[in-house]
Amino acid sequence: MAALSIDDLMSLEEYHRERPEFRSRVLEHKRNRHVAIGPNATLYFEDRLTIQYQVQEMLRIERLFEREAIEEELSAYNPLIPDGSNFKATFMVEFPDPEERRRELARLTGVEDNVFAQVDGLVKVMAVADEDLDRSTDDKTSAVHFLRFELDDEMKAALKDGAALGFGIVHPNYSHTVPAVPGNIRDSLANDLD
């Protein structure tokens, strides 16, 4: 998938006009791009469209229109776009109650390093977490992580041929598996691959 450039973005005025329709299209697209792993963890898979939406929203909120500021946003967000051999996801550890969240994030230290993807019949692919910066300490994990699942040619071919795709977490305090995501999600993610 190609990185975004300034030429791919709408001006603030154009985005203001197009936002309701664009937002609706992106939200529909995102319905096929998330996987809950157990009751408190979700993978939200990114692609060029989801990242364009995030950049457009950031420019809108911060009222950014200078070329240099836009380039900075693009350099921050472009690494989240899959490059044809991987899935990239925002991993959320979700506990609505703040006290419970604090307690559980302390129990789940390192959970981001224990997330995997698996194409049916092939080896598990462990996620590479937080390449941009360390989001955990020795005392707790973060509620948000950025993950990359790197797939080999055999895995990519199998997915394109309709093989099942699963995800899971194996952590002493949180272990859940989704053996096979629904076909619409598998198909959407397979479209990220060369």
Residue 21 and residue 89 share a domain: no
pLDDT at residue 136, rounded to an integer: 66
pLDDT at residue 87, rounded to an integer: 98
Q: Which two tokens stand for residue 70?
A: 């836009």
Predicted confidence band of residue 134 (pLDDT cuts 50, 70, 90): low
Instruction: Please count the structural domains in the chain.
Output: 2
Its domain, for residue 162, covers: 33-46+83-194
Residue 61 and residue 16 share a domain: yes
* d(C-alpha 109, C-alpha 174), whole Å: 10
Residue 42 and residue 27 share a domain: no
Q: For residue 147, give the CATH number of its domain.
A: 2.60.40
CB atoms within 10 A of CB 181: 21
Q: Tell me the pLDDT tens digit for each residue of 27-44.
A: 999 999 999 999 999 999
Residue 169 contacts residue 113 (beta carbons within 8 Å): no
Prediction pTM value: 0.92
The pLDDT of 77-85, averaged and rounded, is: 95
Residue 189 and residue 122 share a domain: yes
pLDDT at residue 130, rounded to an integer: 83
Predicted confidence band of residue 60 (pLDDT cuts 50, 70, 90): very high
Instruction: Provide the 3-class DSSP secondary structure of residue 125.
Output: strand
pLDDT at residue 101, rounded to an integer: 95
What are the start-end ranges of the E strands in 67-130? 86-93, 115-119, 124-126, 128-129
